[in-house]
Structure 1
Amino acid sequence: MPKPSSRLTLSELRGLILLTDAAVAGSSDIAEGVHRKVWDTLGAPPGKEAGRTRGVTGLAYQSVRGISRLLAQGANHLLQALEGQPDTSAASPRRTRLLAVLNGIVGDRLTAEANPLATRMALYRAPDEETEAMPAAAGKVLLLIHGLCMSEYAWEDAGEETVDYAAVLAGIGYTPLYLRYNSGRHVSHNGRELAALLEKALADRPGLALSVVAHSMGGLVLRSACHYARQAGMRWPERLQHMVFLGTPHHGAPLEQAGNYLEAVLGKLPHAAPWAGLARVRSAGITDLREGRLLDEDWQGWARFHHHRDTHAVLPLPEGVACFAVAAVVTAKPGALADRLLGDGLVPLQSALGQHHDPARALCFAPHRQQVCYGMHHMQLLSSPEVGRQLLAWLAAP
């Protein structure tokens, strides 16, 4: 068996070089933009292009970008020529986790540029053990879907005060399966791909029952997949028995909303306007979290980084599936302000439970299919003994 390695493969190294070149170009653009704004206040004549400087200064910035691009292209060609050599090392948890974070932040760009660092959606029997088919002996499959900037390693039992949901539910006959995906892509893109992936994986397993536990963004991807599967007349939703959402921002997450406001404020300040570009270094997946966007039409035709009124489509929970919601609150006791503003530290209580001031947008989780965990933060929802006991009770039911 290959020994796990934290080092990058040749293709991943090539991807990192291309990404570094893009970062150098972006940083240079910001610096030159600030320089240009200062010159504007002094009445200096503009450059040939908006945001560019003139003369020796402009040449210096242009040289930085040019040299970086030249070096990146040379290294890219060299590594492409070497990529045919086999890599006998296995992926390590550390490498997988680092790539998951990178994809969560700029995964849409990595995919658009065909960067080798882009994560490919796939099913896994266990962390870093990819599979194309459902487990042969399984009658009930438990699919676990991670959230933003994560991988299947997010579900691992991390200590004495945590539990492994896969192990807990294996006791009542569930065979675990994990989804890995590029969380920086639009939720709708991941939803479409997941729908097709499950249709293929379940095609030759007519008697298999499927239950899904999804954390955070993973719940949005799951809801999107159900929509596109039913729209396309796929058969796998007929096998879907349970959907459990752990801290899913059904109606958005304040941190992304705050990032959107920060960008808007920076853009209006004369010398700070170029720095607004830093606020745009966040993926399509992250901006989808602003209102919990699930479908293509929720973002198509909109300027992704502009603040606008929430007009995303209303998508109810799928019929015929037992749907459950688990929310967490960081404070030890209930409190209206903490529930509304803090929630689990990332997702407000109302958003995680699908509640909305507009009844037409509210998700109808039955009261006995909701759980609120106090004194718990967003990441603890991945391996909480309290949540594990509730999952056992819910998923044991037919």
Structure 2
Amino acid sequence: MIECSPDESQDIARRDESRALAHLGLIELGNAARGIAEMHRAIAAGVFGTLGRTPLRTWTDPTRAVHDALSEGIYAATAGSLEAAGGVAGSMVGGWGRPPSHTVPGAFALAVLNGLIGDELAATDSPLASLMRVWHAGRPVEPTAVGLRAAFGEPTGPRQASGHLVVFIHGLMETEMAWHTGEGPGYGPRLADDIGACPVYVRYNTGRHISDNGHDLDRLLTALVALWPAPVLTITLVGHSMGGLVLRSACRHASDGHSLWLRVLRHTVTLGTPHLGAPLARGVHAAAAALSAAPVTRPIANLLRRRSSGVRDLHHGTVLARDWERNSAPDRWFQPMATDVWLPPHVEHLYVVATVTRSDRHLVGMIIGDGLVLSGSGSGRNRRRNIGYVVDDGLHVGRAHHLTLLNDDTVYAWMVDRISPRRAITG
């Protein structure tokens, strides 16, 4: 096996990602042209069909034949040309500067792309599909003992690797950079200064099924415990939005596979996580079902139905593979309820919810929540479901929105008090 230097790996990533982006961009334009053609075809069929039931039929039939021939030919040629150009562009573009995934705007664009069609990218082994990896200082960390020592330090010396890992798992269409938004340092650097914990940030493909990402997170944590420069004594998992579902899935995989890292897991913290599903995901599902009824709007419905597996899992907060594997009709109006997953009993499970209003009992706050997730879903409790979170282990943040939870002083003060090793000793 030939190993590449970091510079060589970066050159390869730059070339592969740039070519894939050029190819995908033109292919998607070709698909868009086909969708427009389908809408055009439906509209024209309605107009000519109506005229065909009138005395004007003698003139409209020949006109329709010419119209259909010309329009179909133009759309087919346009789509075909764009797809062919995508293949040429993909073979010619060599890239520029750093790989797109190593830059802030490039990483953001790829995160959105992964959230939208990440399952398709993963199925075709596209270099644009993010892998479940640790990222440090804007670069992926090699999953080896040498790579981890280079990024996080040695057991002894000026940069000592901590035995308390705080692993941050981002949400849908985000990257690890999301944890550094807002003013001031993020949770990770503050935890390092205040309790000596080591922040570890992962990036992953949010368009894949949550259960698949949970499986990969389980494997990643297993490798971290085995290869970490110092003995791992404590693990804290912090997940924002979808990241909270991924960490719950990872806990289930670890329990089934008896993974060693579960023994040192002490806390999970979910921030604005739709444990019971997200209204936006259900709204998109309903819109796709409604728009599919009419030929004119069916192309829009097809576009919505193309949403990724990860987005579909947010309908009810699905974290187990068996739930989506046995769902034979993922586009039907009513979707089966997700299975409520067991929480490891030896772990302290913390959660934070936010509302745009000061009180979570305010009518607007109850309807809107944090803008994307309702309080009941974030706490894992409603009239039909209860996944096991304890009321006293939760925090409500008023006058805040979904992204506020990524870096907030109130959340940090509450979290550091709950996961501090001093609290574990004196509690």
Same fold (TM over 0.5): yes
Match of 1:186 in 2: 209
Q: Residue 178 of structure 2: SS of its match in structure 1?
A: helix
- Please say if 1:347 is aligned against 2:373: yes
Distance in 2, matches of 1:333 and 1:285, equals 31
Q: Aligned pair in 2 of structure 1 residues 148, 59: CA closer, same or farther (>3 Å)?
A: same
More helix by share: 2
Q: CA deviation at 1:263?
A: 1.1
8 Å CA contact 1:108–1:283 kept in 2: the answer is yes
Q: Which moved more, 1:203-212 or 1:15-24?
A: 203-212
AA in 2 matched with 1:197: L
Distance in 2, matches of 1:116 and 1:290, equals 28
- Please say if 1:318 is aligned against 2:337: no
Long gaps (5+) in structure 2: 1-5, 53-66, 155-160
Match of 1:363 in 2: 387
AA in 2 matched with 1:377: H
Match of 1:243 in 2: 268
Long gaps (5+) in structure 1: 45-52
Q: CA deviation at 1:174?
A: 0.5
8 Å CA contact 2:222–2:259 kept in 1: the answer is yes
- Work out which of the two has the higher radius of gyration on C-alpha atoms and give 1 or 2: 2
Match of 2:195 in 1: 172
Distance in 2, matches of 1:101 and 1:320, equals 36
Match of 1:140 in 2: 164
Decide which of 104, 119, 123 is 1:112's aligned counterpart. Answer: 123
Match of 1:198 in 2: 221
Q: Aligned pair in 2 of structure 1 residues 172, 208: CA closer, same or farther (>3 Å)?
A: same
Over residues 225-284 of structure 1, what are the superposed CA-to-partner deviations in whole Å (9 max), with x where a residue is unaligned?
111121122211111110000000000110111111111121113422222123234221
Map 1:74-93; keep pairs closer than 5 Å.
74-79=88-93, 91-93=102-104
Match of 2:402 in 1: 378
Match of 2:34 in 1: 29
Match of 1:305 in 2: 331
- Please say if 1:13 is aligned against 2:18: yes
Q: Which moved more, 1:187-196 or 1:24-33?
A: 24-33
Decide which of 311, 328, 339 is 2:354's aligned counterpart. Answer: 328
8 Å CA contact 2:118–2:208 kept in 1: the answer is yes
Decide which of 140, 146, 156 is 2:180's aligned counterpart. Answer: 156
Decide which of 375, 394, 415 is 1:391's aligned counterpart. Answer: 415
AA in 1 matched with 2:27: A
8 Å CA contact 2:274–2:378 kept in 1: the answer is yes
Over aligned residues, Cα RMSD in angstroms? 2.6
Q: CA deviation at 1:384?
A: 0.4
Q: CA deviation at 1:196?
A: 1.0
- Please say if 1:72 is aligned against 2:83: no
8 Å CA contact 1:163–1:384 kept in 2: the answer is no
Distance in 2, matches of 1:113 and 1:10, equals 17
Q: CA deviation at 1:87?
A: 6.5
Match of 1:100 in 2: 111
Distance in 1, matches of 2:92 and 2:300, equals 34
Map 1:226-305; keep pairs closer than 5 Å.
226-300=251-325, 301-305=327-331
Q: What is the aligned residue count? A: 379
Q: Residue 299 of structure 1: SS of its match in structure 2?
A: helix
Percent of pairs identical after alignment? 32
8 Å CA contact 2:15–2:99 kept in 1: the answer is no
8 Å CA contact 1:331–1:338 kept in 2: the answer is yes
8 Å CA contact 1:17–1:72 kept in 2: the answer is yes
Map 1:38-57; keep pairs closer than 5 Å.
38-41=43-46, 42-43=48-49, 54-57=68-71
8 Å CA contact 1:104–1:183 kept in 2: the answer is yes
Distance in 2, matches of 1:88 and 1:318, equals 39
TM-score between the two structures when normalised by the length of structure 1: 0.88
8 Å CA contact 1:14–1:116 kept in 2: the answer is no
Distance in 1, matches of 2:343 and 2:328, equals 25
Distance in 1, matches of 2:44 and 2:140, equals 56
Q: CA deviation at 1:125?
A: 3.5
TM-score between the two structures when normalised by the length of structure 2: 0.82
Q: Which moved more, 1:319-328 or 1:109-118?
A: 109-118
8 Å CA contact 1:185–1:284 kept in 2: the answer is yes
Q: Aligned pair in 2 of structure 1 residues 381, 233: CA closer, same or farther (>3 Å)?
A: same
Distance in 2, matches of 1:228 and 1:96, equals 28
Q: Aligned pair in 2 of structure 1 residues 129, 112: CA closer, same or farther (>3 Å)?
A: closer
Q: Aligned pair in 2 of structure 1 residues 362, 24: CA closer, same or farther (>3 Å)?
A: same
